[in-house]
Amino acid sequence: MRPAANMKDFRRDLVGLLPKLRRFALTLTRDAKDADDLVQEACERAITRSQLWNGEGRLESWVYAMTRNLWVDEVRKRKVRGGGSMVDIFDQDELSAEPSGERAVYANQLQKMILCMPEGLASAFLLVNVDGYSYREAADILGIPAGTVMSRLSTARLRLAAMLSEDAERRA
């Protein structure tokens, strides 16, 4: 059982992590409501299993991986409910180009553009380029090969560069 003082620190750190965790969840779900549900479930699980957290390394890596696993489970459940029509994005080598993130209604156009990127790109970009994980660490969190992280990251950068150009044209 985790001592009360450590549990208090764990909960404090978890609250501090919420903005980043929600951002990571958004890259997985590409839908704000799904992301909120996912973060909630991940936090419940993190607290329930807090005694498994050894306090070494980055707490966010542990919670990110938990979040990703929960989302994989959710995608599989939906696939079953949908009669197998859904494809597990984490088993895909080829990326779907369908921008399901269109469902999300965001005042911020930039965020909307990010969420419209094909599945898998935003999360790889976030982990490596923004959060500073190595390819190996990002691959462990996402449950995919490091080579896939590498190729997705490259594609994400080119997509983002294209968005930058579109954004500049729109403003001009």
CB 60 within 8 A of CB 14: no
In sequence order, which residues have a C-beta less than 8 Å from that of residue 118 and are 6 or more positions away? 95, 96, 97, 98, 99, 155, 159
CB 124 within 8 A of CB 149: yes
**Contact pick of 52, 88, 143, 164 for other proteins (by CB under 8 A):** 164
CB 138 within 8 A of CB 64: no
One DSSP character per residue, 121-154 reads HHHHHIIIIIT---HHHHHHHHTS-HHHHHHHHH
- Measured in degrees and rounded to the nearest 5, phi and psi for residue 72 equal -60, -45
19 binds other proteins (CB under 8 A): yes
142 binds other proteins (CB under 8 A): no
**Contact pick of 56, 90, 103, 126 for other proteins (by CB under 8 A):** 126
87 binds other proteins (CB under 8 A): no
103 binds other proteins (CB under 8 A): no
Q: How many CA atoms within 13 Å lie on the side-chain side of 120?
A: 27
**Contact pick of 47, 52, 55, 98 for other proteins (by CB under 8 A):** 47
151 binds other proteins (CB under 8 A): yes
Amino acid present at 97 = A
153 binds other proteins (CB under 8 A): yes
User: Among 53-61, 79-87, 92-100, 126-134, which window interacts with other proteins (CB under 8 A)?
Assistant: 126-134
Contacts with other proteins, residue ranges (CB under 8 A): 4, 7-8, 11-16, 18-20, 22-23, 26, 33, 36-37, 39-41, 43-44, 47, 108, 110-111, 113-114, 125-126, 128-130, 134-135, 146-147, 150-151, 153-154, 156-164, 167
